[in-house]
Amino acid sequence: MIFRQLFDQTSGTYSYLLASRAGGEALIIDPVLEKVERYIQLMRELDLRLVKAVDTHLHADHITGLGALRDRTHCITVMGERTKADVVSIRLADGDKLRIEGLCLDVLYTPGHTDDSYSFLMQDRVFTGDTLLIRGTGRTDFQNGDARAQYESIFGRLLALPEETFVFPAHDYKGDTVSTIGEEKRYNPRLQVKSVDEYVTLMAGLNLPNPKMMDVAVPANMRVGLAQEELARRGWSVTAREAMALIGRSDIALIDLREPEERKRHGGIAGALSVPYAELAENIGTGGVLHELAMATGKSILFFCAFGERSAMAVQAARDAGLGAARHIQGGLDAWLKADGPIVH
Ligand SMILES: [Fe+2]
């Protein structure tokens, strides 16, 4: 496995680059905007292809690198389903799996620092975001923070993991890089409490100043979605309502870009052919299934995904590959549902 802990000095943020092998797919957790060039260079040097960029929660102290990485690498942006961010490609829920080639992380909903805080467990290590820090815990006094929920997340979920599990947090300000669950159980001063009420009192007494970047970072991090309007202006999108009139027509090939787990959980649109976004490149090139389908039958391709991000990138890729009639459903299945479109399971 390839595992890199990367540091942003300005905000004290740790980002994590994961991959199962050189030459394969990579995932990054909590990337920082100012470091995007560095990540891209490192991935080039390690011969990695970024396919997913994930934030553990909506950060208040730095601007996320999610949008910039998506624009540069066409990767999928991922956050938890409770996120306040406008659009990310995939929203995960507690119990879901976050997968790339050769790696699988369990998604744990661990609210408290914010109400959109998630942790990701990968075998011997857990990425705790700002829920559990090394000898500390994330503050709970803004962004719908809740010390009571955080106590449950830490004591009920994270500390229930095997003691030898490595803890990799989103921040450290003292120079520590990694800890273990057992170590934090014993030595984290915030966790030496006898009850949830004691923890709530402790957190209420911290009186921390707001992060310097908060007024800039929070609004910026809420607007990470790809600008789908530009595609609409070019006539490369249809609204969910317009799509309903196109479904079932023999000259339209409807392509679902979501992953199998998303389809299973949320259902889909009748008659859609499944081509997960990760397999798009090989399918739209010469000899690929979609390429041949469009060329042989003259069908025009209509992509959709969960929120319209992957499909917007797919439209551009398909047009670059010569499939000139490709369009997508703006806003994805989310917009389709809001327009009362029928779902099949
Ligand atoms: Fe945070």
Write the pLDDT tens digit of every residue in 296-321.
Answer: 899 999 999 999 999 999 999 999 99
- Average confidence (pLDDT) over 186-206: 97
Could you tell me the distance, in angstroms and rounded to a whole number, from the CA of residue 36 to the centre of ligand 1? Answer: 19
Domain identity same for 180 and 273: no
Question: What mean pLDDT is predicted for residues 270-295?
Answer: 93
Domain boundary among 191, 222, 253: 222
Spatial separation of the C-alpha atoms in residues 4 and 34, rounded to whole Å: 17
Q: How confident is the model at residue 336 (pLDDT cuts 50, 70, 90)?
A: very high
List, for residues 153-192, the tens digit of each pLDDT value.
999 999 999 999 999 999 999 999 999 999 999 999 999 9
The verdict on residue 246 lying in a domain is: yes
Whole-number mean pLDDT of the chain? 96
Quick one: 234 and 217 in the same domain?
Answer: no
Contact call for residues 308 and 87 (beta carbons, < 8 A): yes
- Long-range contact pairs involving 289-295 (C-beta distance under 8 Å, separation at least 24): 290/253, 290/255, 290/318, 290/323, 291/321, 291/322, 291/323, 293/253, 294/253, 294/323, 294/325, 294/326
Both 302 and 168 in one domain: the answer is no
Q: Among 176, 203, 222, give the residue marking a domain's end.
A: 222
Tens digits of per-residue pLDDT, 46-69?
999 999 999 999 999 999 999 999
The predicted-structure confidence for 223-267, as pLDDT tens digits, reads as follows 999 989 999 999 999 999 999 999 989 999 999 999 999 999 999
Looking at the fold, whether 218 and 233 belong to one and the same domain comes out as: no
Query: Which residues lie closer than 8 Å to 72 by C-beta, 6 or more apart?
Result: 36, 40
Q: What is the structure's pLDDT at 227?
A: 87
Q: Could you tell me the distance, in angstroms and rounded to a whole number, from the CA of residue 263 to the centre of ligand 1? A: 31
pLDDT at 212: 87
Q: Of the candidates 168, 200, 222, which is a domain's last residue?
A: 222
Domain count, the chain: 2
- Whether 189 and 90 share a structural domain: yes
* 213 and 245 co-located in one domain: no
H or E stretch at 290: helix 289-297
* CATH number assigned to the domain comprising residue 236: 3.40.250.10
Pair 16, 43 in one domain = yes
Q: Single out the residue of 257, 271, 239 nearest to residue 316, CA to CA.
A: 257
CA of 60 to the centre of ligand 1 (A): 6
Whether 91 contacts 109, CB under 8 Å: no
Any domain includes 63: yes
The answer to whether residues 201 and 236 belong to one domain is: no
What's the gap in Å between 158 CA and the centre of ligand 1?
Answer: 17
Question: In the chain, what percentage of residues exceed pLDDT 90?
Answer: 95
Q: What distance in angstroms lies between residue 242's CA and the mean position of ligand 1's atoms?
A: 40
Q: Is residue 304, in this structure, part of any structural domain at all? A: yes
Task: Let me know whether 61 and 145 are in one domain.
Answer: yes
**344 occurs within a structural domain:** no
343 domain residue, yes or no = no
> CA–CA separation, 190 vs 178, rounded Å?
17
Report the pLDDT value the prediction gives residue 211, as an integer from 0 to 100.
87
Let me know the angle formed at the C-alpha of 71 by 70 and 75, rounded to the nearest 5 degrees: 30
Band (324; pLDDT cuts 50, 70, 90): confident
139 and 255 share a domain? Answer: no
Please list, in sequence order, all residues whose beta carbon lies within 8 angstroms of the beta carbon of residue 248, skipping any fewer than 6 positions away. 270, 271
In a domain, 345, yes or no: no
CATH code at 196?
A: 3.60.15.10
pLDDT value at 268 more than 90: yes
* Domain-embedded: residue 37: yes
Asked if pLDDT for residue 24 goes beyond 90, the answer is yes
Q: What is residue 263's predicted lDDT score, i.e. its pLDDT?
A: 96
CA neighbor of 15 nearest in space, from 3, 33, 28, 1? 28
278 is a domain residue: yes
Residue 69 φ then ψ, to 5°: -65, -40
* 221 in Cβ contact with 213 (< 8 Å): no
Say yes or no: 201 and 251 in one domain: no
Check whether residue 51 and residue 192 sit in a common domain.
yes
- Residue 167: per-residue pLDDT: 98
Ligand 1: centre distance to CA 190 (Å) = 17
Domain that holds residue 285: 229-338
Instruction: Give the pLDDT mean for 120-130.
Output: 98
State percent of the chain over pLDDT 70: 100
Q: How remote is the CA of residue 21 from the centroid of ligand 1, in Å? A: 30
How many angstroms is it from 150 CA to the middle of ligand 1?
13
Interval between CA 130 and ligand 1 midpoint (Å) = 5
